[in-house]
Chains A and B, each alone.
Chain A
Amino acid sequence: MVATYETKTDYKVIGNSPIRHDALDKVTGRAIYGGDVKVPGLIWGDVIRSPHAHARIKSIDTSAAEAIEGVFAVLTHDDFPQADDKTIETGEGTVNLRRGQSNVMADKKVHYKGHVVAAVAAVDRNTAQIAAQAIKVEYEILPAISDVDAAMADGAEVILEGLVGDHLGEKVENTNVARVFRHEFGNVEDAFANSDLVIERTVTMSMIHQGYIEPHNATAIWAQDDNLTVWSSTQGSFGVRSQVAGLLHHPESKVKVNYVEIGGGFGGKTVVYLAPIAALLSRKSGGRPVKLVMDRSSVFEATGPAPGGKIRMKIGVNKDGKIQAADTDLMLEAGGFPGSAVGAAAICVFACYNLPVSRITGYDVLVNKPKSAAYRAPGSPQASFAIETVIDEICDELGFDKIQFRLDNAAHEGTRRGDGVQFIRVGLEECLVAAKESDHWNSPLGDAPAGKARGRGIASAYWMNGGGKSTCDLMLQDDGTVMLNEGSADIGGTRTSIAMQAAEVLGIPVEDFHPSIPDTDSIGFTGVTGGSRTTYTTGLAAYNAAHKLVVELKSRLADLWETSADKIDFNEGTFTANGDSIGIQELAGKLGPTGGPATSTSSVNLAEAGNAYGVHICDLEVDLATGKTDVIRYTAVQDVGKAVHPQYAEGQIQGGVVQGLGWALNEEYFITDEGAMANRSFLDYRMPTSLDMPMIDTIMVEVPNPLHPYGVRGIGEVPICPPLSAATQAVKEAVGKPFYSLPVKPGRILEALNGD
């Protein structure tokens, strides 16, 4: 059941950009992140990781580590209780508990270089590091599988023993393909036969990393009564609670996760790595608090990458500019355990186009690389790169205007998405029109300096956004301010964007709100900050809680005014009845006789979220001698529904664009023949710096989301998607050669320029 709203259009609070509530703590160094947690008696943990990408563990000798003075505990997989063989939600994915436990600490086999094999707890960080390195592990090295072709080859070494693949409903043993699924509408072969032009291309891309600046960390206390307290950098405390409980076969009610600030996640901090280890080390250390902080090379080698892989894309089109059919095979790398973002990729891949006939086949493929995790619109950037590459070639081949062609084939209300879902009101056409009318699109590219060439690319993309469960509590205090508790980790200003929605209802300045994020014992269930769900979903909980608070206040006021609550009106912060009127903040001070401060709470569970589209234009310059690229102008057009806090909405778009440009032009897991990541530092894994980027222009289109009273849409994810193709097509235009592999790095550009 989906509620729809007549969207409000005149706002007092929404649409302004107040200074966020937590900003002062974050510019003064006072904000407490996971690594900053101090607990009396704290000791440190560390782990030892596999140096091999694929190997059987023959033996683990921990005696030398145990003999080191200051070591309190040593941990191997044998210390883990058996987890249930069941699958739970992590917020932006799922985890089978038994396999999840094997990912946290290897059981008999290591599936990727950097896979944790054992852990220690010791008096300080230095001693823990030395003791971890003293653990001796013997391995039987197995062939490392580094890409989907090798994984799917006949006779390939099987990575996950016991895996039974589901291949279009058929159970298959001895396979590295965990799942094959299909969405099919109409007969693509017939439609291709009737098309004037059919283009088929295969694109490939490397794994890449979310690149959050704060490494993973966890602190845990396993108390003598088996109550477990955890601090961990995470996008969702409840996700940590359920995963830690499940992985340790411990009652969820005995796990409390305290909120700490999070230094970036982008999907990668929805999975737990260190918290279960910290918990078991604490138990083995007699209840001492244990902290672990991951080193950067391990963050690269053992956490979070977005899947690389291979996508075959075939599109048929007629000379009148109408797409007849599209067919794709999406083969994405899950990493060492099943569960890539291929399901979401399949949802997104055709979502910009109104396709009469389509077929999508998805493959979830194991390789000897870290278990992939969500990364900002998981699966959609790869899918967008594939389809937009072919769309661009169709436009070049048949001479279509690249925006008009997209408009002629654009998805709109009623269009069937590639997986069968019909769209409600969406804003792709409005974004394309805004791009077409933009100053950027109508400005010349300009002449390149000598030795350089310029090109312009355009691309569109889609993300379905997230709903799910969120909770918000309000209390109107005597001084007219509002205490607001909500459960969403605040990674980019959501305390404020949530509070603004309650402030709009109550007619109270948002500066008079005190938003906070309590521990999991102190707020109702709330899903992760991910999937572009937080301002939409938790914001709706705040909106509902504010309306409930108005109902409560009317009832209180009815006592004071000796009237009935239904005779009292409330409008823009003022209650009126029978000629009396009182402002809500003034009323707050008079509630004493009626029972003190008024409170309300709301939990929501939203099945749908309302979709997001972006259309990006990228101008870049290529140095023809070195292949180096410089983005010289960039415009991101996006349907934001309603920008609650325009400054931070724009910031989400700009940040997504720059991550997408890094993905397009620089970033990759460079894997050696032995299956090791060669570039496991920020020096060699080259994320964009301030010097690499221009200012990022945005055009925020507001097509209200019918599922939200203020028209809010999730905005954070979709902006990472279009840059992959927009930048690539810009390079194509500059040098006159197409590119089918990411990243489009200087070496690849030079190869293309030099003939092959």
Chain B
Amino acid sequence: MTTNSPSKVHVTTTINGQQHELLVPGYMSLLDTLRELIGLTGTKEGCLDGNCGACTVNIDGRIVDSCLVLGAEVNGKEVSTIEGMATPEGLHPLQQAFLEEAALQCGICTPGFLVAAKGLLDNEPSPTEGRIRHWLAGNLCRCTGYDKIVRAVQKASD
């Protein structure tokens, strides 16, 4: 049985505005591509089956669970992760709101929540509480009970 030399796929992709050229094993998830090949460990592994949202990233304007996407699939696409959220001008308003509202405890779900919440506010700058709760229902947090996360997103809304 020879199983450890799977074929690799040539991928050119833009991650947080920076172009990367990669050889990605065909089986490898985008999550592992980011974490293991590129070293962007801000995107977290929680369940590997698309149910916790800790690995949420944005591909061409859509938020996705990066554990459910193959690295090979982002050829020619633009990916943004938690590491690309702050700019030279400073933190994104959502990041600042999470700090001020104590919207994190252990912090493992925080990158996923921030990327997901940004996906909402990019398109809907003034969501209702119900809309925020519905949008974030794919991201599990076990520490906060969600109260302060929802308040932080409200604070960062227009």
Contact = CB atoms under 8 A, between A and B. Distances in A.
Contacts of A687: 140, 142
A295 B105 CA distance: 23
B145 A264 contact: no
Contacts of B79: none
Interface string B110-136: 110010000000000000000011101
Interface stretch (A5-13, A30-38, A505-513): A30-38
Interface string B79-101: 00111011000010001001111
Given A27-B98, A690-B133, A695-B150, A214 B44 contact: yes
Contacts of B6: 126
B54 A28 contact: no
A19 B148 contact: no
A213 B109 contact: yes
Contact of A29 (B3, B42, B137, B149): B42
Given A26-B110, A35-B45, A682-B52, A654 B147 contact: yes
B39 interface: yes
B72 to A, nearest CB: 14
Interface in A348-394: none
B58 to A, nearest CB: 13
Interface SS, B side: loop
B91 A27 contact: yes
A689 B140 CA distance: 6
Given A263-B108, A264-B108, A696-B145, A29 B82 contact: yes
Nearest to A656: B145
Interface stretch (A65-73, A85-93, A307-315, A611-619): A65-73
Nearest to A65: B1
Contacts of A127: 3-4
A29 B114 CA distance: 10
Given A19-B100, A654-B148, A690-B132, A29 B40 contact: yes
B69 interface: no
A293 interface: yes
Contacts of A22: 107
B41 A214 contact: no
A123 B137 contact: no
Contacts of A655: 105, 142-145
A117 B6 CA distance: 28
A36 B42 CA distance: 8
Contacts of B139: 690
Please classify how large the interface on chain B is, using the bins under 10, 10 to 19, 20 to 34, 35 or more.
35 or more
A214 B140 contact: no
Contact of A69 (B4, B27, B32, B132): B4
A534 to B, nearest CB: 13
B30 interface: no
Which of A264, A652, A659, A683 is packed against the most chain B CB atoms within 10 Å? A264
Contacts of A296: 46-49, 51-52
A647 interface: yes
Nearest to B102: A647
A213 B142 contact: yes
A214 B95 contact: no
A739 interface: no
Interface string A685-720: 001111101011000000000000000000000000
A19 B106 contact: no
Interface string B47-84: 11101101000000000000000000000000001110
Contact of A23 (B81, B104, B136, B144): B104
Contacts of A26: 104, 107, 110
Nearest to A22: B107
B106 A264 contact: yes
Contacts of B86: 28
The 3 closest A-B pairs by CB, nearest first: A29-B42, A263-B108, A26-B107
13 contacts: A23-B104, A27-B98, A29-B83, A33-B41, A127-B3, A213-B141, A295-B48, A651-B105, A656-B145, A658-B146, A682-B47, A682-B140, A689-B136
Interface of A: 17, 19-20, 22-24, 26-33, 35-36, 38, 64, 67-70, 122-127, 130, 134, 210-215, 261-266, 293, 295-296, 491-493, 647-648, 651-652, 654-659, 681-683, 687-691, 693, 695-696
